[in-house]
Structure formats: C-alpha cells, structure tokens
Amino acid sequence: MTDTTIEQATAAASGAAATEQFRTKQRTATADVDTKRVDTLVSELLAAAHDIIRRHKVTYAEYDVLKSWLIQVGADGEWPLFLDVWLEHVVEEVANENREGSKGTIEGPYYVPGAPRTPTEATLPMRENEGGIPLLFQGQVRSVDGTPLAGAMVEIWHADDDGLYSQFAPGLPEWNLRGTVVGDEQGNFRIHTVQPAPYQIPTDGSCGRLISAAGWHAWRPAHLHLKVSAPGHHLITTQLYFKGGEHVTDDIASAVKPELILDPAPVAGGSGREVTYDFVLDKA
Ligand code: MBD
Ligand code: FE
C-alpha cells in the first residue's frame, strides 16, 4: 500500500484528467446528429424531468440544490465520471444488442489510447514492488465462426492494488498497468499483471456528495478493462470481474454481466493466479 498516493488522489484531479482525456478523443470523433433527432431526444428528456417535478412536487429549495450541484459537477470535472457510472451502461446495451460474439460492457472514464505495445507474452508496465496478487490472464481471439484471428490486439488497462489508475491519480508511472498486447498468428495472448483492487468513486467530489446524499455506496468491483480488435472485425470494449469479489453483485456502474466473471485458479507450482478467457469478435 502506498498511503501517500491515496491521500493525494482527489476528485478534482482525476476529474480534470478525465475531462481532458475525453476532449482529446472528441476532437477526432465525428458527430452528425440531425435537428429532428435532437428535438426528439431533448424534448423527451425534458418531459421526463417535468413529469418528475410535478409528481414529486419538487420545491424551489430542491431546485436550487440541483442547480448548484450541476454547476459543481462541471467545476470538479466529474461529468465523464457521472455519465459513465450512471448512463453509459444503457448506451452500451443498445449499441451492442445485436452482437453475437463476446459480451461487451462500458468503457468508463479512464481509457487512454496508445498504451505501449508488448509482445504476445508480456508483463504489463508496473512498478518494482507493484502490490496485488500476480495474475496471468491468457486466451485467444477468434471470429464468430471459430477462426483464430491473426493480427488481434488486446488493449488492457486497470487500477492498481490501491484502486488507482495511472494518468488519473498522482504519483504513478505514466503507463502503469496499461498495455497493447499483440496476439500471435493464432490470436493467442498471455498477459502477466497483478489483480486490481475494487474501485471507489472519489468521495470528495460532486459524485461522492450525490452518493452520500442518496445513501448509496461508491464502489465498483475489481475489474480489468479491455479493448479487443482484429482485422475485419468489430472492436469490443469490455471488462472482466472476479468471482466472489466485493461488489460484483452491486456495482455502482451497473456494468457487470454473468459472462464477464473470471474465476482464476492458483498457478500450479508457482505464485499468483491464472485464468483463460477467449474473445469472440463479430465480423465487420
Ligand atoms: C471506473 O474505473 C470505471 O471503470 C467506471 C466505469 C467508472 C468509474 C471508474
Ligand atoms: Fe475502471
């Protein structure tokens, strides 16, 4: 445990980094939402809010609390966190409802493109005494028809044993526990890392204030984030969790699916745990 790192991690710092990361991504994204669509979506969203105000007789005092909270979410840079925790899971559900291959789930606010490339069998960038149980995560990338996929890439990023992400918490090496693993001719990969800890949403920012005001908890279960791709196939963004882990059944971000739960076994004659998980990609 590195206590100083925990003390220095603030909602505003991780929020600012997540906001900047999203702005970078958005510059390269193209959005073409036509007038009719904006009219429909925003009108229905507002109508839902009007209905809630009427049904619950929302007061001016409550309206002002909402207003100041919304202003503060922006000031804290917590819009990426708020949206990815409470809305993204439904966007993902709709986006991938017709996929036949492996299940995806939300990306969350802490993906950074361009993590260092590693060979097929690799240890993720980590500190000399990185905490956490060693984990060997291996598998194969195949097409829906069973064909092994040459040219597959497995991007992986996850929190450390303190639940902190590099580039979003201070004091961590830039690419700590992030990598782009290049599969072999058969789409195989073998990734040596450590098991992440559960992730707690920052309690000192606006999302934390909402959580305590509503009497909720602030936790996501321990998870690996992945983006898996191969030529001629749809990229899949997903996460994997650990059987029996804390908050696997009550993820604040509602992003756990039964197909995404790993059950690593102790490494025979070695240290740590290992697990095999294959990815099946839809044809593009
Ligand atoms: C995370 O690590 C995460 O994966 C999501 C979805 C939201 C907040 C933090
Ligand atoms: Fe995460």
What φ, ψ does residue 271 adopt, rounded to 5°?
-115, 155
The encoded tokens of residue 4 equal 């100083």
Instruction: Answer for the pair 271, 132: CB distance below 8 angstroms, yes or no.
Output: no
**In-domain check, residue 177:** yes
What pLDDT is stored for residue 1 in this prediction? 44
Total tally of structural domains belonging to the chain: 1
Please work out whether the CB of residue 110 comes within 6 Å of at least one atom of ligand 1.
Answer: yes
Pick the ligand that lies closest to the CA of residue 219.
1
**In-domain check, residue 217:** yes
**In-domain check, residue 1:** no
Residue nearest to atom 4 of ligand 1 (CA): 108
Q: Is 230 helix (H, G, I), strand (E, B) or coil?
A: coil
CATH number, position 256: 2.60.130.10
Supply the pTM of this predicted model.
0.93
**Which atom of ligand 1 lies nearest, measured to the CA of 85?**
7
From first to last of its 284 residues, the chain has per-residue pLDDT tens of 444 444 568 888 888 888 888 888 776 555 677 889 999 999 999 999 999 999 999 999 999 999 999 999 999 999 999 999 999 999 999 999 999 999 999 999 999 999 999 999 999 999 999 999 999 999 999 999 999 999 999 999 999 999 999 999 999 999 999 999 999 999 999 999 999 999 999 999 999 999 999 999 999 999 999 999 999 999 999 999 999 999 999 999 999 999 999 999 999 888 899 999 999 999 99
Q: Which domain holds residue 125?
A: 7-284
What pLDDT is stored for residue 27 in this prediction? 61
Distance CA 90, CA 58 (A): 26
What pLDDT is stored for residue 195 in this prediction? 97
**Which atom of ligand 1 lies nearest, measured to the CA of 255?**
6
**In-domain check, residue 2:** no
What pLDDT is stored for residue 30 in this prediction? 58
Distance CA 108, CA 258 (A): 19
What pLDDT is stored for residue 4 in this prediction? 47
Please work out whether the CB of residue 211 comes within 6 Å of at least one atom of ligand 1.
Answer: no
**In-domain check, residue 129:** yes
Please work out whether the CB of residue 163 comes within 6 Å of at least one atom of ligand 1.
Answer: no
Distance CA 192, CA 122 (A): 6
What pLDDT is stored for residue 24 in this prediction? 83
Cα 108 to ligand 1 centre (Å): 5
**Which atom of ligand 1 lies nearest, measured to the CA of 108?**
6
No. of helices (H) and no. of strands (E), the chain:
7, 14
